[in-house]
Structure 1
Amino acid sequence: MRRPGEPVRQAGGMNSRNRLIGLVAVVLLGIAAAVAALLNGGKDPDGASGAAKPASAPASVTPSTAAASAAASATRSGATGGPKPSAPAKSPTAQAGWVPTDAALADVCRGRLPAQALDTLGLIARGGPYPYRSDGIVFENRENRLPRQGSGYYHEFTVVTPGSDDRGTRRIVTGGAGEQYWTADHYASFQEIDPRC
């Protein structure tokens, strides 16, 4: 029985104030989910594309659980740590299933190259410093012995030739997509370097 002046309680014990708090919490969760989806580029935390997953609502939502849920959602989406860094581009050396760029071009295992060629490949990977000022210049591919690409796609690097007074005839030529080619005869022939062996 209700006493005079006592608020009317509804079935289930939920008064209008509790309903308002619950509604605000649900709205905050919805906003947090929308922000998380926008920051995550339409992908869920597992990296799948924007297919909707069924959501289960908690039995009781309070402002503190709503805030905690929003914070957790923002953390999963990377919102609290600034912009997410993009994944580095994979070079052919990182690819398990390496495929030559041109089937007509011979290939050579990286491990079968002379030690000086491996040294040059190491310098290329580190970005230098190179022993010759011409290292890194554009290779024009005038003889079209490499797959045709636009101007500036290929760059050449000297492979030191022991006993030579000049740059010698050995070079490594790199392509814009990360491919690498070996020539021991000053561009008369090329072999694509297979990074798997």
Structure 2
Amino acid sequence: MTSSMTSRNRMIAVAVLLVCAIAAAGAYALTGHQDKPATGARPSASAAPAGGWTPDSAALADVCRTKLPGQARDTLTLIARGGPYPYRSDGIVFENRESRLPRQRTGYYHEYTVVTPGSGDRGTRRVVTGGAGEQYWTADHYASFQEIDARC
């Protein structure tokens, strides 16, 4: 009887582990990690669902694409085309060190310069894109962000 109890206990332990693994996978998928591109993949601006835009983060204000400065809209067009970009550092990984954007794995976000007329350098304006196609605008060098709504 002792060996049958040991065998039964093992089966229960395996079943519990299996249920936990399935629950963890489901929770991971529900937190928005499903269908994300592999690390290093760069989506185009068209990766966002057409007509079905939903804010990625309720904590971030959104801004209509048409309300952005013309240079920001030009940058979004370059991103959709895949370049060429005016600055060598455009398209580099944005590390989100201050955690002002939703937390994601390293390599998820990429940054692009928005030309600032009259500036002798890259200036403070950027568009940051996420791996699922989301786009963010900052006019103050990452101190604050707005999520770009392409529907308006």
TM-score (norm: length of structure 1): 0.53
Match of 1:122, as an amino acid? T
> Which runs of 5 or more structure 1 residues have no equivalent in the other structure?
1-88
Name which one, 1 or 2, has greater alpha-carbon Rg. Answer: 1
Higher relative contact order (CA 8 A, sep 6+): 2
Q: Partner of 1:146 in structure 2?
A: 101
Q: Does 1:171 align with 2:126?
A: yes
Residue matched to 2:35: none
Contact 1:105/1:191 (<8 A) preserved: yes
What is the aligned-residue RMSD (CA, Å)? Answer: 1.6
- Distance (whole Å) between structure 1 residues aligned to residue 72 and residue 46 of structure 2: 18
Q: Show the counterpart of 1:113.
A: 68
Match of 1:96 among 36, 46, 51: 51
Partners in 2 of 1:165 and 1:90 — Cα distance? 28
1:111-143 Cα deviation digits (max 9, x unpaired): 000000000001000000000000000000000
Identity percentage of aligned residues: 80
Confirm whether residue 182 of structure 1 aligns to residue 134 of structure 2. Answer: no
Shift of residue 95, structure 1, vs aligned partner: 2.3
Task: Give the counterpart of 1:191 among 143, 146, 150.
Answer: 146
**Secondary structure in structure 2 of the residue aligned to 1:121:** helix
- Kindly tell me the number of residue pairs found equivalent between the two proteins: 109
1:181 aligned counterpart, secondary structure: strand
SS in 2 for 1:96: coil
8 Å Cα contact 2:72/2:127 also seen in 1? yes
Counterparts of 1:20-39 in structure 2, within 5 Å, are: none
C-alpha displacement at 1:94, in angstroms? 4.2
**Partners of 1:171 and 1:182 within 8 A in 2:** yes
TM-score w.r.t. length of structure 2:
0.69
- What displacement does 1:91 show? 4.1
Give the alignment partner of residue 134 of structure 1, picking from 89, 112, 118.
89
Q: Which amino acid aligns with 1:133?
A: R
The change in CA–CA distance for 1:90 and 1:119 in structure 2 (over 3 A counts) is closer
The AA in structure 1 aligned to 2:97 is R
1:172 partner SS: strand
Structure 2, unpaired ranges of 5+: 1-43
Amino acid at match of 2:122: R
Instruction: Determine the C-alpha separation between the residues in 1 that align with 2:142 and 2:75.
Output: 17
